[in-house]
Amino acid sequence: MDITRLAPSPTGALHLGNARTFLINWLLARKQHWRVVLRVEDLDGPRIKPGSEAGLLEDLRWLGLDWDQGPTRQSDRGDAYLAALSQLTDAGLAYPCVCTRKEIELAASAPHADDGSSIYPGTCRGRFATIAAARADTGREPAIRFRIPDDSSSIITWTDRFAGECTIDARTLGDFVIAKADGTAAYQLAVVVDDAAAGVTQVVRGNDLIESTPRQVLLYRALNLANQLPHYGHAPLVVGADGRRLAKRHGDSRLNYYRSQGVPPGRILALLGRWLGINDVTDHATIADLLTLFKPESLPTEPIVFTQQDDDWLKSR
């Protein structure tokens, strides 16, 4: 049996955009009889908001989504991440890095990604023999970066459920952090360790995370888990009128906001259903309606634009 995961992060409330992605994942799972694991990705300590986890799970249940296992929490998995980190550092596949974000931005040799962010230029590659040496030489607590291969094995190709044939050379992304300076596992490492441990075979997420795939594939290989690689699917996002990913700048699109305005879940599901290409959904849908009507091949291939008219329609109920 295939296994997928719903993986909310309690750094904020669920909004219409990530609700749509979770819904796609859940509908695919229930249509195709996958097992659904719920994992709370709560490692980003400073950004975790008190009460967010309970609110996220309440929102998912309010929409009618359920799961077969969990919730598990990444904050309980430190030993597993530490073991993976030790495996990578012992094999010479990761190294200590004392560079600050500002130093990377100011580095003349730092290339830039399409979004304008700086790509790590490799300043600390080969600079320190050990983590202890990095600490002693600089007085800083180092982060740990994964060393992208220098050869063609860095070129990752996969068939994406939504995006089709994809190829990304991970060298264009730069060596990436797998453990923060405080010792906490970073996103890429934690996700791979957890997906492998749970036997996840199907990963469904927004296409803002598509560049995570080559990084994660390399980690699977480096941890001798290549035989457990999942099938990836990156769905187009919900965006605002400016074409940017849905966020606070586009107004309040949180599910708990609409709930406070008296909007019923059926109204939200009706809008989300239309965003999934279900044209004959009623104005007050149920999760059972969507499960019956949903056809994966009908999913839009372009981003969905959330408009003021959508907001007005929800509130008109």
Tokens (6 digits) for 246: 């849905």
What are the phi and psi torsion angles at 207 (to 5°)? Answer: -75, 0
Chain centroid offset of residue 249 CA: 21
Q: Is 180 annotated as a binding residue?
A: no
69 bridge partner residues: 37
d(CA 16, CA 39): 20
Q: Is 120 annotated as a binding residue?
A: yes
> What is the greatest pairwise CA distance in the chain?
65
Strand 164-169, strand 155-160: pairing: antiparallel
Q: In the chain, at which residue ranges do the beta strands (DSSP E only) sit?
A: 3-6, 35-40, 69-73, 94-97, 143-146, 155-160, 164-169, 176-179, 202-206, 231-235, 238-239, 304-305
Q: Is 166 annotated as a binding residue?
A: no
d(CA 162, CA 133): 45
Q: Is 205 annotated as a binding residue?
A: yes
3-state secondary structure of 242: coil
What are the phi and psi torsion angles at 45 (to 5°)? Answer: -45, -55
User: Which residue type does 159 have?
Assistant: T
d(CA 281, CA 238): 19
Dihedral class, residue 96 (left if φ above 0, else alpha if ψ from -120 to 50, else beta): beta
Q: Is 41 annotated as a binding residue?
A: yes
CB 62 within 8 A of CB 269: no
Binding-site residue set for Zn(2+): 97, 99, 120, 124
Binding-site residue set for L-glutamate: 5-9, 41, 187, 205
Binding-site residue set: 5-9, 41, 97, 99, 120, 124, 187, 205, 248
Binding-site residue set for ATP: 248
